[in-house]
Structure 1
């Protein structure tokens, strides 16, 4: 049975776990090793049970735990070539495996397709994970949603998608101008509105569940992200079809099977 859990999701730290196809995959390693170990223990998973690690990019909120984590978890790390080069400078790990964008590879019975995401970090990517039970897209840290990314995730039953900020709140908030400009750029982060429109479009192709992720702690609220996506789904006539959840900043969230829940 396929299982997916968000352990942490924000600009302070990102980490998830996927179980299925004979593998236990850790996706990103933000926060710290103690937190990840404790979160996994609540799921009955030990660090030694992790079979593989997938890393999206080298910003600290996605890899901060790795220098210590890799001392306790010897699972191979899979990432794009630029990300692997960056990791060599940050953690001593002899099992760094390069993956090619848009080139599927197998881990056990899990078929994984990396795809590049437009973000201000070399080699930034997301992942499409496929098992006999279905497809899950993991897509955070992107300034906009290119047609290629949309197509890769079209038909996925589940998507873990960035819904980083409310544009009005960001523009009128206390962030300095350079940071606002970075976040709003085509290489920055996805807004609530952009995420909502993507969800509504994917809903036409069989999307059943979405977890809105990587919410800004200063420029967003779970209820804002949830409301924006649910509004788009109502307008598209897909309100009853797509279940929406919001990943909390630093708490476990299970991909539930029924109902709607805001973390």
Structure 2
């Protein structure tokens, strides 16, 4: 278990969250409770990260951890610099070969394993394996005070474990990476199209809609809203997500679509449709 000396000021009613940015270029999420916060992934330079934090009115002095899903650059590009600059550890799968992608030795990392629960103050979390072409790729499920979250991106398959954890969450961040139509018609070479379409690639708009439909039929469902995110730069757009998701999904869970690269506050996310 991850344990550190307690911090003052952690209040259940102060939990908040935001997307620093989402898409095929760069990604980052932030979650905060009182004077404690953490981010999941950081694909931004230090200056751009700080600009986005300021825009969303978050303070980097509160950051205690960087959680990392995998080593692809749109998630990892800014992690090493941020970790060394702020002196905070990177929490990730113990088999993730981060040092291979670091520019300097000595990255401060805290290793975890899928399926185990970890605790830090008001945070309880676990990681789960994702199906992606990156070694030891994971997603995260966690509760912060009285709110529970699951992040499912960068996976070619949605497992039963992911579905169960998502159903236990208040909010789900779910990949809706590409439109099959746009991908097939688009400029990518065939090998890259096959990679995206594979079981170790990404979830399409249709895949996301099927998962949402399955969730909507589950018993004891806790979900308040689903946020469709990680839209491809070349093979998707908000209008296409709406069109293709609505073709399949008729469920009872509200959802919103996160435009590429936008900073989105908690209020903006909850209002999104």
Normalising to structure 1: TM-score of the pair? 0.90
Q: Provide structure 1 residue ranges, at least 5 long, that are not aligned to the other structure.
A: none
**1:72-91 mapped onto 2 (5 Å cutoff):** 72-83=85-96, 85-87=97-99, 89-91=101-103
- Matching residue of 2:244: 228
1:249: Cα distance to partner? 2.0
Q: Distance in 2 between matches of 1:173 and 1:185?
A: 17
1:133: Cα distance to partner? 1.8
Q: Distance in 1 between matches of 2:268 and 2:236?
A: 26
CA contact (8 A) 2:66 2:83 kept: no
Shift in alpha-carbon separation, 1:101–1:22, aligned structure 2, 3 A? farther
* SS of structure 1 residue aligned to 2:151: strand
CA contact (8 A) 2:56 2:263 kept: no
Q: Does 1:251 align with 2:267?
A: no
Q: Does 1:202 align with 2:215?
A: yes
Q: Distance in 1 between matches of 2:59 and 2:103?
A: 21
* SS of structure 1 residue aligned to 2:95: helix
CA contact (8 A) 1:12 1:31 kept: no
Normalising to structure 2: TM-score of the pair? 0.86
Q: Does 1:127 align with 2:140?
A: yes
CA contact (8 A) 2:166 2:223 kept: no
Match of 1:114 among 101, 107, 127: 127
Q: Distance in 2 between matches of 1:69 and 1:131?
A: 23
Shift in alpha-carbon separation, 1:206–1:230, aligned structure 2, 3 A? farther
1:257: Cα distance to partner? 7.8
CA contact (8 A) 1:135 1:156 kept: yes
- Matching residue of 2:58: 45
Q: Distance in 1 between matches of 2:200 and 2:152?
A: 14
Aligned length: 256
Q: Distance in 1 between matches of 2:100 and 2:119?
A: 24
**1:94-243 mapped onto 2 (5 Å cutoff):** 94-204=107-217, 205-234=221-250, 236=251, 238=252, 242-243=253-254
Q: Distance in 1 between matches of 2:269 and 2:24?
A: 28
Across the aligned residues of Structure 1 and Structure 2, the Cα RMSD in angstroms comes to: 2.0
Q: Distance in 2 between matches of 1:179 and 1:165?
A: 13
CA contact (8 A) 2:84 2:107 kept: no
Q: Distance in 1 between matches of 2:222 and 2:188?
A: 38
Q: Does 1:63 align with 2:76?
A: yes
1:82: Cα distance to partner? 2.3
Q: Provide structure 2 residue ranges, at least 5 long, that are not aligned to the other structure.
A: 1-13
Q: Distance in 2 between matches of 1:185 and 1:201?
A: 21
